[in-house]
A and B are shown apart, each in its own frame.
Chain A
């Protein structure tokens, strides 16, 4: 019963998250996508109202189910204990609790991994598009291995096999595993972006006597990166969510801290709900940031 309930609670959060992400990523005038999906402007007011009511109703129904389930198993809520795990104030001084410390760790891991994954992705994409058979072969092997094995297994392989060999810590292992995993997906995004740039741009570069590298650096990549901002943002959001898996190798990030608190206190509902909300705030902020950036550069679409 507990499992079912906690599942339904996370499902609720993830449904909401997906809706928010959808509207944030695709709703705000992405021309390519609004041709495929119905543009928000073409939906009538009545339909919008009906959808909103349906959404609220299902939200209420879910909430009722959760509360009823909790009531049936005599779950007593202890929300008042939650803030203490976020932060405490001692003599007016702010002291981060385990959840905020975990958030800090999650932010550190994901931000480093994002940069490394971006670099790996770009490098792999350039290798795959290069004339060198060795480069193409290597990047292909890397992609196939990473994309056809589960991330959790990759994390364990790194932790139990690579880490002792290379003598690296848990944090480095986590960053390495996440970067290599997300980098493989990022490289496909980069490759698609580079290939989407019209052939004429390359021809103009060649005819002006630019070298291949100069063409990439000054003409092709600046255009490609603007074009792939939405899928890259999605990938960054995946990275944030996937980072919870490194809790399995005892890296004290947000999920691990949540698990530790629950092991002590049995506050499963409250803590998981709060943890999910923190992830939600992170991912939604990232979407908003990406959209703001996108609107500020010229020729983004």
Chain B
């Protein structure tokens, strides 16, 4: 059973889902997070972004769904430009699901209510419709038995799987994972990666910031290595790990592998 409706599973349709051109982002205080950064992501592609901390990886994801405003350059998501127009911003956010390092579940709502909330408010679904989708998603990420529990009663791995289900409930076209496994105990990383792996297999367009090199090698189509807001190297994943071109990439890989 696929996690997604079939419209997302168009393997032959390879147009750009994400188009970033010369994006610059400097934080207050002068830290340069993105320095003339350009990136294309095709439909159904799984892109893993790696790099040392402070490289601008998280900023890259946060700019894509408008959590951070860019200083210059342009971003187009699935044909919609990300600009000052609030309707465009909302439309883009509704196309993109995001999973955070710290889960960010709503602690005052049960697991089921967490996943129902946006379906009710954004998609105006009836409680019954929302419940059906929620329970289906919870079943697929393996935490259906926790539907009535509150987030603080769940393990980290379970919380992150609920967070993924919450993002999927709106049928996003792109999923962003911002160090989704970095806050987890080692034995829980696997269960979250499994969910991500299934999602990739079903053809979801994914941008993954991660330190999980095994996942990057096995699941991703392409790897981008960035540092100081710039792209150092970009290659198909097999090639990236077997024949890195840049000296800096080799140095980084030798340190973390």
Interface residues, chain A, with chain B CB atoms under 8 Å away: 198, 200-201, 203-204, 206-211, 214, 218-219, 222-223, 226, 298-299
Contacts and interface: CB of A to CB of B under 8 A. Distances in A.
Contacts of A204: 100, 104-106
A299 B108 contact: yes
Interface string B137-172: 000000000000010100000000000001100100
A198 B106 CA distance: 11
Given A208-B166, A209-B118, A210-B118, A226 B104 contact: no
Contacts of B66: 206
Nearest to B107: A299
A298 B167 contact: no
A211, A223, A226, A298 interface centre (most CB from chain B within 10 Å): A298
Interface of B: 65-67, 90, 93-94, 96-98, 100, 102, 104-108, 117-118, 121-122, 150, 152, 166-167, 170
Nearest to B92: A209
B121 A218 contact: yes
A222 to B, nearest CB: 5
A207 B93 contact: yes
A207, A209, A214, A219 interface centre (most CB from chain B within 10 Å): A207
Contact of A206 (B67, B107, B108): B67
B121 A203 contact: no
A226 B170 CA distance: 29
A201 B105 CA distance: 7
B92 to A, nearest CB: 9
B121 A214 contact: yes
B117 to A, nearest CB: 6
Contacts of A207: 65, 67, 93, 96-98, 167
A208 B122 CA distance: 8
Contact of A223 (B108, B121, B122): B108
Contacts of A214: 121
Nearest to A214: B121
B100 A203 contact: yes
Given A206-B65, A206-B67, A210-B122, A298 B150 contact: yes
Given A214-B121, A222-B108, A223-B108, 14 more contacts: A200-B100, A201-B104, A203-B104, A204-B104, A204-B105, A206-B65, A207-B67, A207-B98, A208-B166, A218-B121, A219-B106, A219-B117, A223-B106, A299-B107
Given A208-B166, A210-B118, A299-B150, A203 B67 contact: yes
Nearest to B120: A218
A207 B102 CA distance: 14
11 contacts: A198-B104, A200-B102, A200-B104, A201-B106, A206-B67, A208-B117, A208-B167, A208-B170, A219-B106, A222-B108, A298-B150
B104 A211 contact: no
Nearest to B91: A209
B122 A209 contact: yes
Contacts of B170: 208-209
Nearest to A199: B104
A207 B170 CA distance: 11
Contacts of B121: 210, 214, 218
A201 B114 CA distance: 12
A222 B107 CA distance: 10
A218 B117 contact: yes
Given A207-B65, A208-B117, A209-B94, A223 B102 contact: no
A81 B232 CA distance: 91
Nearest to A201: B104
A137 to B, nearest CB: 23
B152 A299 contact: yes
A211 B106 CA distance: 16
A218 B116 CA distance: 12
Contacts of B104: 198, 200-201, 203-204
A211 B152 CA distance: 26
A222 B167 CA distance: 21
Nearest to A223: B108
A222 B114 CA distance: 13
Contacts of B106: 201, 204, 219, 223
A223 B104 CA distance: 13
